Amino acid sequence: MAKKKKEPSKPAQPPEVDRKFQIHPYQMIGIPLMMLVPILALFGVFGESVHSVSTSGQQLDTSVEYPTRFRYKMIDEVIVSLSNVSDQAIPSVLVNFNRRYIDGFSTVTFTPSIHSITDSDYIVEVIDLQPGETRVISVTLQAEKYGMHRGTISAGPDEAEEVAVSIDTFTFP
């Protein structure tokens, strides 16, 4: 009798499947959001920024330069420039820094030093401001608490009107 050769068995073939690109609804929201973050970073939305604001009174011009955005543990400074625009010397100018704003930071250094501290303000005194003279107060801050920090800086001679500016800084994590 003759032996028949057996052909090796072949595995079953996979079924035909139509391939198509498919996006689920949550992906339609997530993909644009993921693309938005690098685009915003390119435009500097998450970076450090500085703003300057000025105000004037009868005797005093005040200009404040402060950070509006910066990151946790970064160090920046608030610079207050006081100019005597009157034709008389001002014996004493008190500059009040709102505690609510300053206490949102750590490693705070005032130059010149703090004259006094109240429940609501840190007070720096500028003595003998001559006509046309400009003095600068620098406050070095290290970001410690996340979020928005708001406050005011006001300055004025003892007997005259006070000028004030509002400042706010956002600290990123």
- With 90 as the cut, is the pLDDT of residue 40 above it? no
Rounded CA gap, 137 and 17, in Å? Answer: 74
- With 60 as the cut, is the pLDDT of residue 19 above it? yes
Q: What's the predicted TM-score (pTM) here? A: 0.76
Rounded CA gap, 105 and 167, in Å? Answer: 14
- With 80 as the cut, is the pLDDT of residue 8 above it? no
Give the chain's domains with CATH numbers. 49-172 (2.60.40.10)
Query: What pLDDT is recorded for position 58?
Result: 87
Q: What is the dihedral of CA 28, 29, 30, 32, to 10 degrees?
A: 90
pLDDT digits (tens, 9 = 90+) for 129-166: 999 999 999 999 999 888 999 999 999 887 678 899 99
**How much is the average pLDDT of 104-129?**
93
pLDDT digits (tens, 9 = 90+) for 42-68: 887 777 889 999 999 888 999 999 999
